[in-house]
Amino acid sequence: MRPPSGSNRRVFFPVKSVRLAVATAFALSTTFVYADETTPASVPAQSSEPSTASISREVKEIFEKSGKAVVKIRGTDEHGDLSGTGFFIDPTGMIYTAYSVGGDTDNLTVEFDGKTYPARLMMADLRSGIAILKADIATPTLPIGKSETMEVATPVMAIGYPLDLPSTPSFGMVAGFDRKFLDRYFSTTHVRVNLPTQRGEAGAPLLNFKGEVVGILVAQIENGSACYALPIDAAEKIRNDFIRFGEARHGWVGTTVAQSEKPIEGSTALVTEIMKDTPAYGSGIKPGDILLQIGKTNVRQPEDIIDASFFITAGDTVPIVVVRGTEKMTFEIKSDCHPLSPCAPKAATLTPAQGIPLQIDATRRTP
């Protein structure tokens, strides 16, 4: 995976170390009908597999319906003019886009229904790679789906504004669900999609075949041959934080986790350290405990802590289930701001790890 050429802007995903001393709160079903001995020889075998034409028709229908809520975003930064993609998520003009489009951009506008409207940045979150904008207009919206319903080989599509071209559909399928690439860890699981991307498509919605948003395009692989999408469930967590607090509130509890020698109760996530002056310190959790659940997230291996941590909101009380010996125990811990979060106290000392430079470039024009 290489950063694409042609842009000076780079978006860095926060990562975790390979040793996972994680400081955290942690289709087509093809039914074929074959001729058999009772089938007249003159009747050919029939297949119920959808034809290319039917798939094309579905993509076209979703594009025509959903494309009305997808917009081109323009702005300027220190390098010049740029443009990218976004989409409306409520009828008052709230917009999801990628951080690389709206996170550090001035003079924002959106092109909607043949007109250009001013937009303003409501919040930007580098850790998740998204930004939320607002245009003061009544708008259509895209329905929000569930990322968890996706599986490998699920057909998906995106609608974006590549380069200086009109709104454009792309078709592909889910290739995988990755927490890391080249031994570097994302802030939460990302959806790897075999779907080509071009400059200007950052922030485009990833849609299932119901026309629901299941992700936001935030990064490209191998110069646009495929891409990564932040699951919409993760984006909605950030938006809910914004609604409640006016900012993203990434939480943590403060334990170090490693791989145990053998699973206990189906989990190999071994607590090895309770960091001093963190919410977990003095909570009752001890080194040697095996983590089974953090909040609503079941834990089966140390890497599960990555997703569990992402979905914790600072200030919320989080139930944490462990097994100690043969006894299951539940601890209620009030989480604090993650040291890499803007809301973290200055005393936090966790050192930011290096990230992978991944992005779908915004289209740029130098004045």
What average pLDDT does the structure give for the chain?
Answer: 84
**Chain centre distance of CA 327:** 36
How far is 78 from 83, CA to CA, in rounded Å?
14
Q: Is the pLDDT of residue 78 over 60?
A: yes
Q: E-assigned strands of 289-334? A: 290-294, 297-298, 317-324, 327-334
Q: Is the pLDDT of residue 135 over 60?
A: yes
226 forms beta bridges with 221
Q: Which of 178-182, 276-280, 303-307 has the lowest mean pLDDT?
A: 178-182
Nearest to 295 by CA among 316, 268, 270, 264: 316
Note the pLDDT of residue 364.
58
Maximum C-alpha span of the chain: 81
The answer, as to whether pTM is greater than 0.85, is no
Say if residue 352 is exposed, middle or buried (CB neighbours under 10 Å; 0-12, 13-18, 19+): exposed
The pLDDT tens digits of the residues spanning 204-260 come to 999 999 999 999 999 988 888 999 999 999 999 999 999 999 999 999 999 999 999
Confidence label for 5 from pLDDT (cuts 50, 70 and 90): very low
Say if residue 207 is exposed, middle or buried (CB neighbours under 10 Å; 0-12, 13-18, 19+): buried
Contact 92, 211 (CB under 8 A): no
How far is 283 from 358, CA to CA, in rounded Å?
38
Note the pLDDT of residue 34.
31
Note the pLDDT of residue 148.
92
Q: Which residue type, as a one-letter code, is found at position 133?
A: L
The pLDDT tens digits of the residues spanning 313-357 come to 999 999 999 999 999 999 999 999 988 776 654 433 333 333 333
Locate 6 and state its tokens.
Answer: 């042609």
The pLDDT tens digits of the residues spanning 16-43 come to 333 333 343 343 233 323 333 343 444 4
Higher pLDDT, 354 or 173: 173
Note the pLDDT of residue 310.
95
Q: E-assigned strands of 26-99? A: 32-33, 46-47, 70-77, 80-88, 94-98
Locate 2 and state its tokens.
Answer: 């290489």
How far is 200 from 83, CA to CA, in rounded Å?
6
Note the pLDDT of residue 49.
55
Q: Is the pLDDT of residue 265 over 90?
A: yes
Confidence label for 198 from pLDDT (cuts 50, 70 and 90): very high
When pLDDT is averaged across residues 92-102 and rounded to a whole number, the result is: 97
Contact 352, 250 (CB under 8 A): no
Contact 255, 271 (CB under 8 A): yes
Q: Is the pLDDT of residue 274 over 60?
A: yes
Q: How far is CA 119 from CA 100, 107, 123, in A?
A: 16, 8, 12
Q: Is the pLDDT of residue 367 over 70?
A: no
